[in-house]
A and B are shown apart, each in its own frame.
Chain A
Amino acid sequence: MTSAHNQTSRAKLEAVRADAQRGNGVLPPALRAAVFSYASARAMQKSSEKSSEMSGDASALPDSVRAFVDAVLARAVSADVDALKREGRSDDFIYELSIVAAVAAGSARGIAGLALLDAKARAS
């Protein structure tokens, strides 16, 4: 059983994830959900695996969006942002895409770690 402090940490982590998935924004809800799902799954995949080999729904993402999310998961640079700008994407679109992908990828790591602790606690 996790401490009260850690239970609160888990609740606060969920609040961050909820804002990224459901807060008001310019990304259409279906696209945002697809980005979050894709980034979460991709974060837990070997970097050498292709996006087509994974369980997340990569096909729901336009190619340029998928490429940008992949860049955020690895390490995005100016050229990645510039590519979306050339395509006519707004600053808020890029901002939200960055946040959603980053929150999904970061929290997926934390959640994977917590799952290991929870499995051990259940077994003992």
Chain B
Amino acid sequence: MRIDSVFDNASFGTKLKTKLIAAAMGGRENFPEIIALFMYRPAFFGRAFLDYVQHVLRGPSWWSVGEREVIAAYVSKTNECRFCLESHRAVAEEAVKGTAAEGAVAEVLADRTKGAWRAELKAALPLVEKLTRAPHEVTAADVDAVRAAGVPDDAIEEVMHVVSVFNMINRVADSLGFAIPPPAAMQKGGKRLLTHGYKT
């Protein structure tokens, strides 16, 4: 974390909570610094953001939780945000355990046409990438291509919100420089996010 104040100027309660979470995660090096960010000044950035994230990633949707987490990871991959990519890849992997897509998260992230995923998800990923990489180039034809794959407009809108969320948090993560916990901690964090969601 490039901003010391997030830890140094936190309230006593927040510092205590940070210590407890770090202990539960097996040590300070496993602590996801994004949690400290959300607790730092939640009225400025945190409370409303997590409320939006929870609604978009865990609310009722045409897309499964695993598919939404793949879209989140795909945006993060496009933006080269390693912290968010690793975090949401871990959640997606947990979410699709026991389904046809088990073990296929890395595959679709490496090549959006690959893996045992619904054709509708694969059809939406080009729009996700274009909206992330070159939003000025996105046209109605890009949306029509997703519709042509059988995705209803409400589901396309749900995709737009995932794109919106991760184009925000990817930039926050890279700007403030969150440390990347080791793979085992990421996996543990993925399980926790799948179980508890993004509620504050």
Q: Are B177 and A106 in touch, CB under 8 angstroms?
A: no
Supposing A6-B154, A9-B157, A20-B44 touch, asked if A72 and B171 sit within 8 A by C-beta, the answer is yes
Q: Of the candidates A6, A101, A121, which one forms a contact with B171 in the assembled complex, judged by CB atoms under 8 Å apart?
A: A101
Q: Are A106 and B168 in touch, CB under 8 angstroms?
A: yes
Main secondary structure of the interface of B (DSSP, over half): helix
Q: Does A8 contact B (CB under 8 A)?
A: yes
Q: Are A2 and B171 in touch, CB under 8 angstroms?
A: no
Closest to A81 in B: B2
State which residues 55-107 of A face B: CB under 8 Å: 71-73, 75-78, 80-81, 90-92, 94-96, 98-99, 101-103, 105-107
Number of A-B contacts (CB under 8 A): 176
- Residues of A within 8 Å of B158, CB to CB, are 5-6, 9
- Residues of A within 8 Å of B167, CB to CB, are 105-107, 109-110
Q: Are B174 and A75 in touch, CB under 8 angstroms?
A: yes
Q: Are A105 and B44 in touch, CB under 8 angstroms?
A: no
Supposing A105-B171, A117-B143, A117-B156 touch, asked if A92 and B59 sit within 8 A by C-beta, the answer is no
Q: Does B160 contact A (CB under 8 A)?
A: yes
7 interchain pairs (CB within 8 A)?
A6-B158, A9-B52, A16-B49, A19-B43, A45-B136, A78-B177, A112-B131
| B residues at A contact (CB < 8 Å) | 2-6, 9, 40-41, 43-45, 47-49, 51-52, 55-56, 59-61, 79-81, 127, 131-132, 134-136, 138-140, 142-143, 153-154, 156-161, 163-172, 174-177
| A residues at B contact (CB < 8 Å) | 2-3, 5-6, 8-9, 12-13, 15-16, 18-20, 23-25, 43-46, 71-73, 75-78, 80-81, 90-92, 94-96, 98-99, 101-103, 105-114, 116-117, 119-121
Shortest 9 CB-CB contacts between residues of A and residues of B? A110-B164, A106-B168, A106-B167, A102-B171, A91-B5, A113-B160, A12-B52, A98-B175, A76-B175
